Amino acid sequence: MVHLEIADERLVAQRPRSFRSVSMIGLFHRALGIANARQPGLQDQPWGKFFLIGTICAAQALPLSFSNAIVPTAARSYGLQPSQFWLLSLPLVPMWAKLLWAPMVDSYGSRRFGRRRSWILPCTAAAAALLAMLGLLRPAGDLLIPMFLLLTLQMSIVATQDIAVDGYTIENLDEHERALGAGVKAIFEAVGALLSGTFLFFMLASAGWTATTLTAAILFLLLTLPIVLRKESMPSPRTKTADRASLARFMRQPFMLRRSLLLIGGGATNASLSAMLGPFLLDRGLSLGQAGMIVGTIYLIGELCGSAVAALFIKRVGSIIVLYVIAGLAPFLIAGLAITARSAEVDFVSAALLGFLPAILISTLHAVFTFERLSWAVGAQPGTDFTGYGAFYNIGRTIAPALAGLIVAASGWSAFFFAMAALLIGVCLSMAKMIDGTRARQPQRATS
């Protein structure tokens, strides 16, 4: 160890001090954690660890944002009827069905490329290729069903990548880093959705569907670049996974029924507003470009603000207080959308404000759920556990557009927003009660 330190000091002494002599390639490699055996990788530094986790989470957010926001708005502009909104749920099915193959992804992998990267790299290439191919199928007419089937296949590959990313995230976060990690994950997901939404809605309004899907594929590849260019470190002993992950082991975890029901409700709350806001604004007389600006930029800025708020306050005041604040503010903010729904048209400024403020609440709630999922997935199979909890969350995301379409078709937009407010409040209060009850039992178990 001493010999290595002396060798490093000699190397430092031999380096020229001229700024121009520094290799830009070397700096780029250091920024991404591509180092030799004697240099600490990016994952060894706290900021580097969060950066790598954040960028891959931003990449994950892009196809989900595309399916959950871009596609509904584009399909509605091509004439999709509320009675056909059930089609919007098809691409989200793999995001909860992935629980079925999560143990396989969590158990197998290449030592040469890294256990997680050996799944992340091929899934990235395949998902990007299918995303670009979607440009050949417009979401209208006879091509509507084939387009949604191809999108569902693409999301199946993204879901597989998501399992490996979940395992990577858990293995690289220490216990004291989970609150900040949850906030960072939510922030970068919002950043990825913001970047993709801003560019993609602009492309959709100005250049059309084909250019939009091609741009989405390119952005997806760029956001995945940091994890592609660095070697994967071995998991620490406390997170070393079992030889074979087990779905049965996951289902036997404590409080599974209550956790799963709350996760389904949280996912439904999250997807209800993000998926339905674009069609709602089009129905209120806004142009495709204006709706795209609100859903693709202003709403996502609200999500970014909410994620930052969550990262700041979850660690300071705890999840329970944050949930109570969300429940207290929800009636006022969501009710604004319900009142606006009764008017025939809405101006751009009012629509932007009504999209921005609820987005803060929804993204803060999402960060709370992410933090709790990180806390629950600390056993011998972190990828399977974190993915499993995420699968229940995505069940809610899957059924939300279909149920929303039924409510809108039967009772109108106002009824939908009031129902969403009731769901949001119920989820927050129930989640706070469960967290409080779980913590109350922990000391009793420790003393027994």
- What confidence score (pLDDT) does residue 40 get? 42
**What is the CATH class of 42-232+243-440?**
mainly alpha
Residue 132 has what DSSP assignment? H
- What confidence score (pLDDT) does residue 10 get? 39
Annotated domain spans of the chain: 42-232+243-440
Residues 6+ apart with CB under 8 A from 442: none
- CA-CA-CA-CA torsion for 235, 238, 239, 241, nearest 10 degrees? 100
- What confidence score (pLDDT) does residue 42 get? 43
Q: What does the alpha-carbon distance between residue 268 and residue 423 come to, in Å, rounded to a whole number?
A: 9
Torsion sign, CA atoms 69, 71, 76, 77: positive
- What confidence score (pLDDT) does residue 426 get? 93
- Alpha helix (H) residue ranges in 284-412: 288-293, 299-317, 319-340, 348-376, 382-411
Quick count: other Cβ atoms within 10 Å of Cβ 316? 9
Q: What does the alpha-carbon distance between residue 84 and residue 176 come to, in Å, rounded to a whole number?
A: 46
pTM, full prediction:
0.67
Identify the bridge partners of residue 114 per DSSP, sorted by sequence position: 110
3-state class (DSSP) for residue 81: coil
- Tell me the mean pLDDT per 10 residues along the chain, length 448: 40 40 40 39 59 84 83 80 76 86 83 81 93 85 84 93 84 75 78 75 83 90 81 54 70 86 90 81 83 75 80 82 91 78 78 81 86 78 80 86 84 87 92 81 46
Contact at 8 Å (CB) between 283 and 405? no
Residue corresponding to tokens 């909104």:
85
